[in-house]
Amino acid sequence: MTRSADAFARARAEGRSALVGYLPAGFPSYDGCVAALRAMVEAGVDIVEIGLPYSDPVIDGPTIQAAADLALRNGTKTRDVLRTVEAVAATGAAALVMTYWNPVLRYGVDAFARDLDAAGGCGLITPDLIPEEAADWIDAAESSGLERVFLVAPSSTPARIEATVAACRGWVYAASTMGVTGARATTSAAAPGLVARVRAATSLPVGVGLGVSNGDQAAEVASYADAVVVGSAFVRRLLDAADENSGAKAAAQLAAELAAGVRR
């Protein structure tokens, strides 16, 4: 199993930020998702976020909602998400699942941790779970050695940042804007200050997500963050593609552009 720490260490050794890429499992199909994720890794993505499609994605914008809806209509189940993790882990990339908390509860917290570990996944990103309500997950993750990535936002108070980073293992996800996911024309003016506040509270790497869609924006975020997280822009490349093969190629082209950006 590759840990996020390995990816961050490689990036630091190269004097750059890590690149994190996201797609929902089962989108545009199981095979199409795996092919696209493999292509993204080959083109320079260091850490892969695999979304668990969910019917009530409260922080996801319309692009990711459309992809998750298609994945659900394809019949994507949690076991398919874990199969996707296994396929990505086989590439040598660090693979985390990005999921809302209710599907994990339905599956069983201990069972999910066990099966994610068995699939070669290194942890969970849980956007709607706060540390105060995460005792079961924290215990299960500790038992399985899994990473726990919680989110902070520009509105987070010093006390909230302290509590969140104390519960994190692996890295901290800094949501650069208040609102839903989606590519934006400019990066967040609030993000550098948020990263500085998080770094004052922890030595863990800080990844910044929400809004990055091109190499210039990746370079800008990489100038102050340990990782650049990109989701909607990858999803959009697949949504706009004529077929799955061209979608994987388009995702790889974007990954190469972003990878060049974090290396500027």
86 flagged as catalytic: no
Whole-number Å distance between alpha carbons of 205 and 41: 20
pLDDT digits (tens, 9 = 90+) for 41-58: 999 999 999 999 998 877
Whole-number Å distance between alpha carbons of 215 and 50: 22
Question: For residue 190, what are the contacts with CB-CB under 8 A and spacing of at least 6?
Answer: 154, 176, 177
Report percent pLDDT > 90 for the chain: 90
Q: Could you give the 3-state DSSP secondary structure of residue 181?
A: coil
CB 23 within 8 A of CB 217: no
Question: For residue 250, what are the contacts with CB-CB under 8 A and spacing of at least 6?
Answer: 237, 238, 240, 241
CB 135 within 8 A of CB 163: no
Backbone angles phi, psi at 19, to 5 degrees: -110, 125
Average pLDDT over residues 48-73: 91
pLDDT digits (tens, 9 = 90+) for 249-262: 999 999 999 999 99
Of 42, 56, 60, 257, the catalytic one is 60
Structure tokens at 228: 């650049």
Whole-number Å distance between alpha carbons of 14 and 260: 12
Q: What is the mean pLDDT of the chain?
A: 94
**Which stretches of the chain are assigned E, i.e. beta strand?**
18-24, 47-51, 94-98, 123-125, 147-149, 151-152, 172-175, 206-209, 227-230
Of 31, 46, 49, 117, the catalytic one is 49
Q: Residue 176 pLDDT > 90, yes or no?
A: no
What's the DSSP call for residue 92? T
pLDDT digits (tens, 9 = 90+) for 193-238: 999 999 999 999 999 998 899 999 999 999 999 999 999 999 999 9
CA dist 261 → 16, 45, 109, 178, 222 (Å):
9, 12, 38, 24, 8
pLDDT at 81: 98
60 flagged as catalytic: yes
**Which stretches of 61-104 are assigned E, i.e. beta strand?**
94-98
What residue ranges define each of the domains in the chain, with the CATH number in brackets?
4-262 (3.20.20.70)
